[in-house]
Amino acid sequence: MVFEIITIFPDFFRSILEHGLLKRARVGGQAEIRLHDLRDFTDDRHRTVDDRPFGGGPGMVFKPEPLFRAVETLKAEPSGEAFPVILLSPQGRLLTQAVAGELARHQRLVLLCARYEGVDERVAEHLATDELSIGDYVLSGGELAAAVVMEAVTRLLPGVLGNEESREQDSFSGGESTVGAHGILDCPHYTRPPEFRGWTVPEVLLSGNHEEIRRWRRRRALEKTWRRRPNLLASVALSDEDRKLLEEIKNAALEPAR
Ligand code: 4GX
């Protein structure tokens, strides 16, 4: 996967490229991140990327010319298929695990990072093929959002996660299996010590009974999802056991506290 990042702050990305998953994927050859300074695609002495909005009002808007020129430069490079051109924006469709999965199937992605009031609408309409939001809150630039997209996509690329980290194959192990388009929330995890400041680890996890542990984890995952994100339960495939566990969870919640 080649990520082509178009930004006025290429240095913003340096540290995340040198750490953790993105570093490993770059070294391993699964991901390449190319940083493009939008100002390199301007043609005036001041390297101007923004201008005042027609119609008046506060703030500045990214001009179309540098963004078009940057993307068209990439399109002119000899490469395979057409690639998505993604504009990070609060107006975009929401990034989910399923969207990350779709993006991971491409060989090249362009990420357009804007600031201020955003971009001239002709960029959104005629240059971007996709507009993505990482959530309903306001950032001051698309750079952090682009970093989130890169991280979510990179961990889905073949060979990036080891078997230990990738729990996708075991749909009952929690973790990865869960959160996402057709997932539920993860169960709680504990490590040593078994007692910390008087708070103890649930007995079942120390029991060595793997079948009971599996059931307990599934139950706690379902319970957390039902309490915090009930809408996720509507889009997940529930087993007969899941339905039984959910009944128990709901009944227990209805019982008056004793
Ligand atoms: N998920 N922002 C982008 C400028 C902007 C506005 C409109 C394009 C169109 C955000 C988010 C986000 C703030 C990044 C506004 N660019 N991006 N910026 N939430 O809030 O992606």
> pLDDT at position 177, please?
47
DSSP letters for 214-251: HHHHHHHHHHHHHHH-HHHHHTS---HHHHHHHHHHHH
The mean of the pLDDT values for the chain is 94
Q: How far is the CA of 86 from the centre of ligand 1 (A)?
A: 12
Higher-scoring residue by pLDDT: 142, 169:
142
Atom of ligand 1 nearest to the CA of 137: 19
Tell me phi and psi for residue 3, to 5 degrees: -95, 125
- Pocket, ligand 1, Cβ cutoff 6 A: 87-90, 114-115, 118-119, 133-135, 137-139, 141-142, 145
Q: Find where tokens 């690329």 sit.
A: 157
User: For a pLDDT cut of 90, what percent of the chain falls above it?
Assistant: 89
> pLDDT at position 65, please?
98
Find out whether 53 and 59 touch, Cβ atoms under 8 Å.
Answer: yes
Which residues contact residue 131 at a Cβ distance below 8 angstroms, ignoring those fewer than 6 apart?
A: 86, 87, 88, 89, 91, 92, 93, 124
Pocket test for ligand 1, best of 8, 139, 144 (most atoms within 8 A of CB): 139
Q: What is the pLDDT of residues 110-124, one digit of tens each?
A: 999 999 999 999 999
> pLDDT at position 167, please?
60
| pTM exceeding 0.75 | yes
Environment class of 77 (CB within 10 Å of its CB; exposed 0-12, middle 13-18, buried 19+): exposed
Q: How far is the CA of 113 from the centre of ligand 1 (A)?
A: 8
Backbone dihedral region for residue 44 (phi beyond 0: left; psi -120 to 50: alpha; all else: beta): beta
Give the integer Cα–Cα distance in Å for 177 and 236. 11
Q: How far is the CA of 167 from the centre of ligand 1 (A)?
A: 32
Give the integer Cα–Cα distance in Å for 120 and 50. 9
Q: Atom 17 (ligand 1): residue with closest C-alpha?
A: 89
In 3D, which of 206, 241, 12 has the Cα closest to residue 113?
12
Give the integer Cα–Cα distance in Å for 192 and 145. 35
Residue numbers annotated as active site: 90, 117, 155, 170
